[in-house]
Every structure is written in C-alpha cells, then in structure tokens.
Structure 1
Amino acid sequence: MEAYSYVSKNKVNCRFSAKEDKKLTDLINKYGENDWKLIASYMPGRNKRQCKDRWTRYLSPNVNNGPWTPEEEQLLLNLVNELDHKWTQIAKHFQGRHDSQIKNKYHILQARMTREQPTDPKITQPKEEKKSEKPKDFFYLPAAKPTQVPLEELISIFDERNIDNILYFGV
C-alpha cells in the first residue's frame, strides 16, 4: 500500500481552477502544444494527460464552447443515424467541437426528445429498428391507419422543429 502513496499525494482529481487555467495558457504560449511532459512539470498535481485534455477540450482558442445552432443539432442527429456512436468520426464534421462535446450534446438532445415525446397513443415511436431502415430520432405514425390523425392535431403536438419531420414522412 505504501508504494502507491505518492500517487494520492500528487494526483489532483478536482476541476482546474481559474488560476491553473491561466497558468496552463501562459505555459502553452511559452512552450507550445507539443511538450506536455514539460508543461505538466510546471503544474503541481497535474499530469501531462490532464494538461493536454484541459487545453484541447476547453481552453484552446480553436475549441467552440458556444451554444449549438439548430443546424448543428440537426447535423448531429443525422450523423449519429449514419455513423452510429462513432464520436471521433462525427466530430470531424464540426469545426471546433470535440468528441466529448458531441457525445454530451447528443445525450442532451436524446433526453429533450424523450421529455417532449407526445403521450398521445395515436403517435408512437418504433420499438426496435434496423440501422438502415429509418432515422432513430423521428416520431412515426402507425402504418395501419396513417390518416387517423388530422394534420392540425399533429402540428399542435409537435414544435416547429418536428414539423419538418412530419412533412418528411408524408402526412
């Protein structure tokens, strides 16, 4: 047990402070982004992986931490339908968005869609579908009686973003 005591003394498992962020930014400006071991040596309690991740995911001027546009959200949903959960591949389609941002945003969108899912029994979401059949992130009308629900009723259920989905499926 004593052999590992140095790990617990030197390892910091908490968030970076504003002071650490400033110091890390200053070190990057001085030494560049290639020698993370050197940079970490100036950051007490931080290792090279923590320093690199903090810079590349949050502090770098190339990172887009701003709000997501509706177009980005729709692109994300489309790419997940096409590429599944391959976050690194999906991130290549977004300027300045990191794969962890992409994954987190997708889960937020999924939670929002689950909350907004209509409780009307006339409208259902497919239980199980094959990857290439239909996009996962849309609501579908039952195939048995597609004309049961008037369009006006559907429009009142869905918000503006989902109206395009309704029109896409030919209602």
Structure 2
Amino acid sequence: FVFTVMDRMGVSGREAAQFTGPAFTVGALAVLLAQLVLIPRLKMRNKTLMMVGCVPLFLGAIILVFARDYASLILAQFCIGLGQGLARPGFSSGASLAVSPQLQGNVAGLVISANGMGFIITPFFGLFLYEYVNPHLPFVICAGLLVFMVLFARFGLKDGVGEYAEAD
C-alpha cells in the first residue's frame, strides 16, 4: 500500500507516511466496526463470514487497481479493513470448530501460519510483481484469489463446517 501511495500521489517515502498513517487508521477502524458492531448484530455463521468478508476485500483490491486520488486510497483501506474484520473470524472459528478438541492446537498453528505467510509472500512476490511486471498485478491476483475463496467457501465447504460440537 505504501508504494501505491507513493506512486499514485507522487510523493517520496517520507511524505507517504503522512498519507499512509491516516489510511491505515481508517482500515483499523473498519476492522473494529466489523468485529464489534456488525458480527455481533448480524450473527452470521463462519462460512457466511468468510464469503461476506471477501466482498469488501475484493472491492478494496479493485479500487487499488483504479485509484488515482487519496480519497480512493482511503476507501480501499476501509474496504480492506472491513473485509478482514469479517473474513478472519470466519475462517479462524471455522477451522477451530471443524476439528475435535484434541486437534485444536494443530489447527490453531495452521491458521496462525497461514496468516503469517502474508508477511513472507508479499515482500518476495508482491513487490517484485509490482515493481518489475505491472503495479496493478498484485491487486488483480489478490482479487482473483478472493473470488476463488468465495467459490471454495460456497461450494467446497460443507454446510456443517464449524459444527463439530453439534455432530457429537
């Protein structure tokens, strides 16, 4: 996001901090909105949270492809934060509830590892694609992965996912 701000706003790295700080704050507020307001009120199941969370994440990725001004970049961060706030609890709880109590530690480790992979993959592949192939490509790939995630959640997961305790 920082490099996108620098490129789209035409600012240096130091100046970009003036733009990215408030944008990240908006994203964080959107996460809180999703987790403290929307999730308790909407009472969605984990599978639904994953699918619904992908919609604003997808919009955020697409907005980043076309963003040319600061307002669009802020809107993208809001969408990304909202999507993360909805989707992450969905797949975290879904993974946890899909296994027996004896496997809780294993699945927790896998979920945390999957979350951490973003910090490894993005610098190596995302920045390379952004700099040397096309600056829009990482966001297009992200949008494609989100479409895949919705399809997988919709058709690849059983409706009973997350109901291990009820199956006993």
Shorter-chain TM range is 0.3 to 0.5
Please, what TM-score do these two structures have when normalized by structure 2? 0.32
Q: Which has the higher contact order (CA 8 A, sep 6+)?
A: 2
Please, what TM-score do these two structures have when normalized by structure 1? 0.32
